[in-house]
Amino acid sequence: MTSESEASPPPASKRFARGLLETLAIIVVALLISTALKTWVVRSFYIPSESMMTTLQVDDRVLVNQLAHRFGPADRGDIIVFDDPDHWLSAAETAEYTPNPVLEFIGLAPADSGNQLIKRVIGVGGDTIRCCDAEGRLLVNGELIDETYLDEGTAPSEVEFEVTVPEGHYWVMGDNRSNSADSRYHMDTDPFVSEDDVVGTVFLINWPFKHFSWVSTPDKVFADVPDTAEGLSGN
């Protein structure tokens, strides 16, 4: 016998409505969190060209830490994603990008991928970079660099140059040196990337799964580089 104090269960229609509202609330919260993450923390980026091979392969998907540059400048050796600084990309290249509104909305693809590039930081503000010495090696502030991330037999550069990076900027190069339209090829306009144009630092290859790996900065490569170019003329 049911006590009069016991409440009768709500009808099925009310239970369904309540469940639907709870589901919608979860979806809304999830979308808000996803939007916040892709706006401020982590963003996905795909590799459209061979310029960073073989570190990054064509069509790899990488995750970019967008908070890193908010707490300080990038380090030498970091792989960064940045907005096109001075029309480095041609109209034909930007037109090749096909946006995916669904992936962009949930944060798995950036909304402006067609106007962004990915390269490795070789020099930071104040650095003097020269290539090449008599043996074809790269120097940063007079220190010879052994770029272990380059494929065996890859020359540091087939283009000779010597530049001093302005404060608040970077000199960037692709790991596939013979197939990378990086800072070296924009000497007649503006070869440097402003810190303000940096989207973030690559930290993970997340697709395809067989390429899944962390992307770390090769600290040992630049460990002996002095902070300034003092004494450069003596090298």
Give the residue numbers annotated as catalytic, written as ranges: 51, 119
Distance CA 116, CA 81 (A): 7
CA 134 to chain centre: 33
Gap between the Cα atoms of 132 and 68, Å rounded: 31
Helices of type H across the chain: 12-36, 91-95, 101-106
Q: How many CB atoms lie within 10 A of CB 141?
A: 24
Q: Read off the tokens for 131.
A: 């290539």
- DSSP 3-state of 108: coil
Going by C-alpha positions, the residue among 164, 157, 160 that lies closest to residue 142 is 164
CA atoms 123, 85, 189, 98: torsion sign:
positive
Nearest C-alpha neighbor of 131 from the set 121, 115, 120, 142: 142
Tokens of 208: 């395809």
